[in-house]
Structure 1
Amino acid sequence: MTGLLDLAGIFVFAISGALAGVRRRLDVVGMAVLAEITALGGGILRDVVIGATPPVAFTNMGYVLVPLAATVIAFFWHPRVERVLGPIMVFDAAGLGLFCAVGTQKALDAGLSPVHATLLGVITAVGGGVLRDILSAEIPALLYDRQLYALPALLGSTAMAIAYVLDSHGFIPTLTAAVLAFTFRILAMRYGWRAPLARGVSER
C-alpha cells in the first residue's frame, strides 16, 4: 500500500512540475524533464542516503512512466487540470504531504533513528520541488520558507516517526501524516502564515 502512496506522490509532484513547465512556456521536452525531476529527485536522494541502490526510480518502470503520463495530461489539458483540480501549489502541497510520510517510513524501515528518519523524510519531500524551482529559474521555496514549505513537511515527518515509535504501521498512519502536512501547507497558503524573519529584519 505504501507503494501506491509513493506513486500517488510521484503523480501529483509530476503534475506540479509539468504545470510549472507550462507556466514557463517550455516545450513538451522541458515539461517532461520538470515532471520527472520534481517527482523523482527527492526519492532518489533518499534511496542513495539509506543505501537502497540502485534507487527504485531506476528499477521500477512505473516511477518513470507516471511522470510521463502526468506530462501528457498537463500538455493537452492544463487549463482544465488547473480549473478542476486546483493550481500548481495544491499539487505541490499534496506531493509534499505524501513524500514526507512515505520518505520517513522508508528511512525508519532502513534502520535510521526517528530523528534522522524525520530529517530524511523532509529531504524526500522538498528535494524534487527545489530542483524544479532551480530549473524553472525561481528561488526555491525552501530557501525562503515564507509560505511554510519545509515546516509542513517536518510536521508530517514527525507525525510519521511518532506513529512508528508507537508501533503504528501501515496505510492509515502514513496517510494521516500525509494529510496533516498537506492541510498545514494549504492553511499556510490560505491565511498567509509565514515563518519569522531574523530579529530586527523588516518585511519588504
Structure 2
Amino acid sequence: MEISDTVSNLYFVLEYTGVLLAATVGGTVAKRMNFDIVGFAFIAYISSLAGGLIRDAILNDGPAAALTNPGYLITATLGAAIAYTVTLRGKLWENFRFYADIITIGVWAVAGTLKGLVAELSWVPCLLLAVITATGGTMMRDIALRRVPSLFTAQKMTVFPAIISSVIMLVMNHFDLVREGMLAAAIAAPIFAIAVYYGGDRFSFLQTKHIERPLEQKIGDALGTHTDEAEPRDNGEDVTRALENSSDEELLRALRILLQNEVRERTESIT
C-alpha cells in the first residue's frame, strides 16, 4: 500500500496527538505518586511510546519510528512538561484522564492499522496491531507500577473501541477512502467508549462483572471516599488520610460495610 503526502501528514498529526496526551496522563500519574524526576520521565515516556515501540518491533521493519524521528521524543517531552507544571486534581483530573485516554485509543488504533496496511498485512494482523498500539503504552505503564493492567479489566473501554476503529479504517481503505477512514475511525473509538461508559450497564453483554478490585478502592467505598476505578492507586493517599481521620465508631462501621460488600461480591461471583 502506498500512502499520499496528505495521508502521511494526517497520520503524524494523529499519532503525535496520542503521544502528547498519553505522556501528559502518564506524567500526571507519576506526579500524583510522588516519583522523582527519573521515575516521572520514565512513566511519561513509557506511557506515550511503548505501544508504538512494541508494534514496530513486531513488524521488524528497521528501527522503531520513535527512535528515528525526534518528533516523537520532543512531543512526549512536551506532554511530560505539561504534566510537571500543571496540577490536575479532583474532577478536572478525572475528566482529563478519561477523555485523553479514549482519544488516544482512536488515534493509535488508526496508526496501528495503517502500519499494517503499509506492510501489506491481512485484516487480522492489522486488527492486532491496532489493539497493541492503542493499549501497549497503558499496559506497560501498569506493569511498571505493579498494577493489574487495565487491558484485562476494562476491555470494553480499550480493546473494543480499538477494534471498531480498526475495522472502520480497513473498510474505508477497501474503498480507497484512506483519509476519510482515518478521520472516521479516530472519531468512532471515543464515541463508542463514551457510549459504553454511560450506557453499557443497560446491556448485559457490556456489563463488567466479578472483577477483583484493589483493596484501597474497597476501603474507600466503605468509608465513603471517592475512588477512581481506572486509577485506583492514585487515590491511596486519600484513603490513608480518611483512615487516619476516622473515629473508632466510623472505622467499625466501615469494616462492617467492607465485609458485607466482600461477601456480596463473592456470592455473586459464585452464582
- TM beyond 0.5: yes
- Distance in 1 (CA, whole Å) between partners of 2:187 and 2:114 is 15
Residues 146, 47 of structure 1: alpha-carbon distance in 2 compared, 3 angstrom cutoff: closer
Aligned length: 201
**Counterpart selection for 2:163 from 127, 136, 154:** 154
User: 1:101-143: per-residue Cα shift (whole Å, max 9, x none)?
Assistant: 1110111111111221111111111111101111222211111
Contact 2:25-2:83 at 8 Å conserved across structures: no
Q: Which residue of 2 aligns with 1:189?
A: 197
- Distance in 2 (CA, whole Å) between partners of 1:79 and 1:143 is 26
Q: Which residue of 2 aligns with 1:179?
A: 187
Q: What is the identity, as a one-letter code, of the residue corresponding to 2:187?
A: V
Structure index of larger Rg: 2
What aligned pairs does 1:91-170 form with structure 2 within 5 A after superposition?
91-145=100-154, 147-170=156-179
CA RMSD of aligned residues (A): 2.5
Q: What is the identity, as a one-letter code, of the residue corresponding to 1:143?
A: F
5+ residue gaps, structure 2: 1-9, 211-266
Cα offset, 1:203, TM superposition: 5.1
TM-score of the superposed pair, with normalisation by structure 1:
0.88
- Distance in 2 (CA, whole Å) between partners of 1:203 and 1:74 is 39
Q: Which residue of 2 aligns with 1:76?
A: 85
**Counterpart selection for 2:67 from 37, 58, 61:** 58
User: 1:57-87: per-residue Cα shift (whole Å, max 9, x none)?
Assistant: 110111111111111111111328x738933
Contact 2:28-2:88 at 8 Å conserved across structures: no
Could you tell me the percent identity over the aligned residues? 30
Specify which structure has the bigger relative contact order, considering alpha-carbon pairs within 8 angstroms and separated by 6 or more residues: 1
- Distance in 2 (CA, whole Å) between partners of 1:22 and 1:192 is 32
Contact 1:32-1:67 at 8 Å conserved across structures: no
- Distance in 2 (CA, whole Å) between partners of 1:16 and 1:147 is 20
Contact 1:21-1:136 at 8 Å conserved across structures: no
